[in-house]
Amino acid sequence: MSKKIIMSTLLGVTMVASLAACGGQTDQPNSNSASATTAPAAGQKTKLAYWTVDRHDADYMKEVIKKFNETNKDNIEVEMTVLADNFNQSVDIAFASKQAPDIFRTNDFSGFVKKGYLLPLNDMMTDEMKKRYNNLLVEESNMVDGKIYSLPNTGQYWRLIYNVDLFKKAGITEPPKTIQEMVEDAKKITEAGKDIGAYGFAENFKNPGSAFSRIANPIGSLSGTSVLDGYNYKTGQYDYSAYKPIVEGLRQMKQDGSMLPGVESLDIDPLRAQFAAGKIGMYFNHSGEPAVYQSQFPTKINWNAALPPTIDGKQQGTVALANAGNYIGINKGTPNKDKAWKFLEYIYNLDFQKEYHEKGFGISIVPDVNAVAKKPVMPGIEGFLPSKFDALYAPTPTGVAETKVEGVKTGNVIIKYMLEGGDLDKILNDLTTRYNTALEKARTAGETKMKADPNFDPGKLQGSLAK
């Protein structure tokens, strides 16, 4: 089977299975690379395959890669393929059929490392490069057991997104600082917005797990709970009791009639459409939203973003970044490791990262980039820019725990309480017990190395992205 046929097969979701079936016919039995299997003849270019899941920056990256291909002195030609759907599955199939790309987005970092797909970068990195990224090297985020497999570029900064016009209409002068203020503001907005059918609050509760994490994680982590996804970094155990004030606030807003009707079946894009139409006062999401309201849901409303409220108004922690810590890596089996590293050096440098940030494709988490970069050229981005209250956290073990948890998962439990009420202490204790049982199973099976860190202090992470 030719490489061209294999690439075409991967791009067609309906043909994925057939690729795996004929993987044994490959003429590259000793390589996991989709590119050249032998050294190119003198004067020939070394072609490297780069796979990415990112569609939003594809046109820009084509130009970046075109420039690299034209200017590098090592006779390297990189070819980018965008696989926005079923990316992880496509990577698995490509490795199984020994047709994997030389370079690829580390979209499933821990999974890709466990499967042996990624090459450690430690020996290729200069001391200067290691120093540049030193404060951003985090176990299970970009390295495992001290081996660095990828480096960071951008991250998703979580904020409370609010309609300035509706706040003004309701007589509210600033975004809420506490959960109680958020509940009160949502009620005021709903009352003031009756004439236009506006409501104070919404979230994409059609996906309850996603919706609850968008609310609880930024509020809880900025409040200093040491809890993310229900997992307490200090104790190494789950503790859903930390979320009690947040859950109570959601229940109160629902009881007050402050939430958009039908919010329990609301998906994220319909939510955005309603917000763009001026029907929602507040919701939680990340720094990808300015691009959404510039292109996907153009809006004329005045809107902004602010740091999330906290449980008691005190900002004793930091807002944990999402989808941060790693970016791209090198196929462990590529015969062109050194040349693949040349491309990574081109991407992991100040010039590229600064321009990427300034064009608004993603907000950098690299300190020297944020120190010199101009504000991104995108309306609405101001409120998402890095602050001393943003930080990079190690990933929680919730992904593996949820594959073993018995009974109803967190999001569904929370939304049921939000709609119906009940004994909240009992509900949260049950979640804590079941998730800790699942966590113990995951640890016994060797599926997570996360353990208690008694010295963890989210307050000490303040300002860490500027160091």
pLDDT per position as a tens digit, 112-149: 999 999 999 999 999 999 999 998 998 889 999 999 99
The pLDDT of residue 169 is 98
Could you give the CA distance from residue 156 to residue 321 in angstroms, rounded to a whole number? 6
Residue 75 zone, left/alpha/beta (φ > 0; ψ -120 to 50; rest): left
Residue ranges in the chain modelled with pLDDT below 70: 1-43, 467
The pLDDT of residue 41 is 60
Q: Encode pLDDT of 269-321 as tens digits.
A: 999 999 999 999 999 999 989 988 988 899 999 999 999 999 999 999 999 99
Q: Encode pLDDT of 390-408 as tens digits.
A: 999 999 999 899 999 999 9
Any long-range contacts for 400-408 (C-beta under 8 Å, 24+ apart)?
A: 400/442, 400/447, 400/448, 401/238, 401/435, 401/438, 401/439, 401/442, 401/448, 402/438, 403/438, 403/442, 404/438, 404/441, 404/442, 405/434, 405/435, 405/437, 405/438, 406/434, 406/437, 406/438, 407/434
Report in angstroms the alpha-carbon separations of 226 from 54, 243, 284, 467.
Answer: 31, 11, 20, 21
Could you give the CA distance from residue 140 to residue 148 in angstroms, rounded to a whole number? 10
Q: Which residue has the tokens 């300002």?
A: 463
Q: Return the CATH architecture of domain 159-321+394-466.
A: 3-Layer(aba) Sandwich (3.40)
Class at the top of the CATH hierarchy for domain 28-151+326-364: alpha beta
The pLDDT of residue 11 is 41
Range list for CATH 3.40.190.10 in the chain: 28-151+326-364, 159-321+394-466
As a dihedral over the C-alpha atoms of residue 295, residue 301, residue 305, residue 310, rounded to 10 degrees, the angle is: -130
Chain-centroid distance of CA 447 in Å reads: 21
Q: How many CA atoms, within 13 angstroms, populate the side-chain half-sphere of residue 28?
A: 24
The pLDDT of residue 56 is 81
Could you give the CA distance from residue 94 to residue 130 in angstroms, rounded to a whole number? 31
The pLDDT of residue 39 is 54
The pLDDT of residue 323 is 83
